[in-house]
A = this chain, B = another copy of it.
């Protein structure tokens, strides 16, 4: 006799190990700015927080270092990596290059559902009063527009770059006039996508990113010379 099991099985083999969970939490904390430039990450302290030994913590830290989010010195420990103004500038240039390319491919073959989704995020972003949500909604808007580009590696690299400058992006949106400008520019990019105008979407995306860069750099220059 043969019976077919009628239940949804989750792939336990792909379940998260302790190291995965810790890696994810630390990564999020760094990207969102809960952990700041130069903050020391003590293995023991983290292990206690997650109620595990230091072994999975060390694996998580090794991964974060590989991603460039923390810097480790032997016997001294891991600190949250900080970026110089030059490095931040370069990261934005890099994003402009790749995200411009990606949206070009995406817009050519974008699905209607994707456009709806992007519009929803753009509106949510424009409406959101809680500044703590801005960065995430902003990221979701752009990422949605990129989704249909059929280039997973490009997207992965963009994610990595966004992770590295996430903290600063937040500052740009919250502490400068970034939010108002971003709202306007999102409108334009979305309209270009709806019109399937790949060249325009690319140009606007690049300008959007490089504009944010300038605004952020000006802000950080003031901030970093003060104290």
A residues sitting closer than 8 Å to B (CB atoms) are 13-15, 17, 19, 55, 58-60, 62-63, 65-68, 73-76, 87, 90-91, 93-94, 97-98, 101, 151-154, 156-157, 161
- A73 vs B11: C-alpha distance when bound (angstroms): 11
Q: Is the CB of A97 within 8 A of B94?
A: no
Contacting residues, chain B, for A67 (C-beta < 8 A): 66
Copies per complex? 2
Distance (Å) between the CB of A47 and the closest chain B CB? 15
Q: Is the CB of B90 within 8 A of A154?
A: yes
Q: Is the CB of A75 within 8 A of B157?
A: no
Q: Is the CB of B59 within 8 A of A94?
A: no
Q: Is the CB of A152 within 8 A of B90?
A: yes
Q: Is the CB of B153 within 8 A of A87?
A: yes
Q: Is the CB of A15 within 8 A of B74?
A: yes
Q: Which residue of the partner chain B has the closest CB to A20? A: B74
Contacting residues, chain B, for A59 (C-beta < 8 A): 58-59, 62
Distance (Å) between the CB of A158 and the closest chain B CB? 11
Contacting residues, chain B, for A19 (C-beta < 8 A): 62
Distance (Å) between the CB of A105 and the closest chain B CB? 9
Distance (Å) between the CB of A181 and the closest chain B CB? 25
